[in-house]
Chain A
């Protein structure tokens, strides 16, 4: 990765709107015997993609689960779509979660269900007609390039294919916000590139705001320096020196938010931890 080309100030492609989709304020969380997150504050604006970086085991996935209400903070405020969710009852969280799509680290597909039923899970719960389900599932699978897996079971798919099915499952309900938990972790470079292209396609075609966890710098930089070209049907590099301004970075270390800014800020940061992480 040529860091010189991305060190220039970004050319904004689109200004983020003011009202955040997600807003965390002074969020702290401890597990028995150890503190995981301390006073974390950040927000995600509409149309914005935030990439959460940090070493393994630093609490990135935990933070993602906090944002979706799967965990509750010990203190602080978590606002999603303008609603405070940190003290909301579990029953009240379910309708809110249907507006959010989440891709889990290992895909978390339901082993006992076919790919069709996995992708259509939400639609089946909503008693959508079978014909419509089939059509929408095929459309979602086509988006991730896996239409032929329609009637297979998760056990017969590779790790990368499972991740792509998980993306299709997260997208089928047309979410207003997306959470990706290490979508490329443990995959080969070609599959990583395919998945990043899907994420960029979703970002650029549908402008869905998202929070993406990764410890792979290469993926993060690719997302910042590329855009999806619908005409060509593939991801293409942005002109030299230009970066995607609505794709910004957060960095966690020792349970604290160590960095919050653009790619330009990241690569020019003098912070020793950030510099060490980028090396």
Chain B
């Protein structure tokens, strides 16, 4: 019956939220308690950070470019093309830089974390690790969360930089406007709350990507088909959560700093 299915789905959702809350709490507490596996942190930083640089540069550059392209036409109607630089830099730093980086890294790394840990679950490697006296939460999850938070912070800065650069390229070469004016406006109107917002968001997004990716990986059941399902769930959930949390942080920051 439909009502039974609804009942089952509701229970499943509540149970998943409960499980994730406990998992996220344990993962968070482990960030501050030894042992912390620094070698694994460096390996994961390389995979998440260095491995994602190229896609973040490309995504940032073209997003900044398209922002300049789209805004210039509208701003021209008000005779305000001079503020294109301000518009692009504020949009990139406050919103698009962190969110786009979060979603790109989520597609690349939340999926790989879920599939890697999921495969380890179905081949009993996680059980083997526990049987050898090693905590998989500390050995596998904590370094990924640490690396994801640290790397997303820097990747967002890279995305912001290349976004402003992309906007500048479009302004100079396609819109044939003054480049000095663009970069001067992009810099002059930057305020600390804007920068703060842009630097705080990646910390949350990094935590979401790694904790969701690892959570679905560690909850994998049902063999290789289950690994595929976990991977999809990890990417979808982390992307949606990033956008939702972005909304919440924006609300709080605007309330606090205007």
Q: Which A residues are closer than 8 A to B by beta carbons? A: 65, 68, 70, 90-91, 94-95, 97-98, 100, 102, 104-106, 108-111, 121-122, 125, 169
Contact = CB atoms under 8 A, between A and B. Distances in A.
B54 interface: no
Interface string B122-144: 01110111111111000000000
A97 B124 contact: no
Contacts of A70: 127, 130-131
Nearest to B35: A125
Interface in B99-146: 123-125, 127-135
B132 A122 contact: yes
B127 A97 contact: no
A91 B124 CA distance: 19
Nearest to A61: B124
Contacts, number: 50
Contacts of B132: 97-98, 121-122, 125, 169
Given A70-B130, A121-B129, 5 more contacts: A102-B128, A106-B124, A109-B125, A122-B133, A125-B132
A78 to B, nearest CB: 15
Contact of A108 (B128, B134, B135): B128
Contacts of A125: 132-134
Contacts of A109: 125, 128
A108 B133 CA distance: 15
Contact of A104 (B124, B133, B134, B135): B124
B128 A97 contact: no
Nearest to A110: B125
Contacts of A97: 130-133
A98 B133 contact: yes
Contact of A111 (B125, B129, B130): B125
B45 to A, nearest CB: 17
Contacts of A110: 125, 128-129
A110 B129 CA distance: 9
Nearest to B127: A70
B131 A102 contact: yes
16 contacts: A68-B131, A70-B127, A70-B130, A95-B133, A97-B131, A98-B132, A100-B131, A102-B131, A104-B131, A106-B124, A108-B124, A108-B128, A109-B128, A110-B129, A122-B132, A122-B134
A108 B127 CA distance: 8
Given A106-B123, A108-B123, A94 B135 contact: yes
A111 B134 CA distance: 17
A125 B138 CA distance: 12
Nearest to A172: B132
B135 A90 contact: yes
Contacts of B127: 65, 70, 104, 108
Interface centre among B123, B129, B132 (most CB of A within 10 A): B132
A127 B108 CA distance: 33
A125 B131 CA distance: 13
Nearest to A169: B132
Contacts of A94: 130, 133-135
A255 to B, nearest CB: 20
Contacts of B124: 104-106, 108
A104 B128 contact: yes
Nearest to B37: A125
Contacts of A98: 132-133
Contacts of B134: 94, 121-122, 125
A112 to B, nearest CB: 9
Contacts of B128: 102, 104, 108-110
Interface string B43-54: 000000000000
Interface string B145-186: 000000000000000000000000000000000000000000
Nearest to A91: B135
A108 B124 CA distance: 5
A70 B131 CA distance: 7
A262 B163 CA distance: 75
Interface in B193-207: none
A169 B124 CA distance: 15
A165 to B, nearest CB: 12
Nearest to A113: B125
A108 B130 CA distance: 12
Interface string B208-221: 00000000000000
Nearest to A90: B135
Nearest to A94: B133
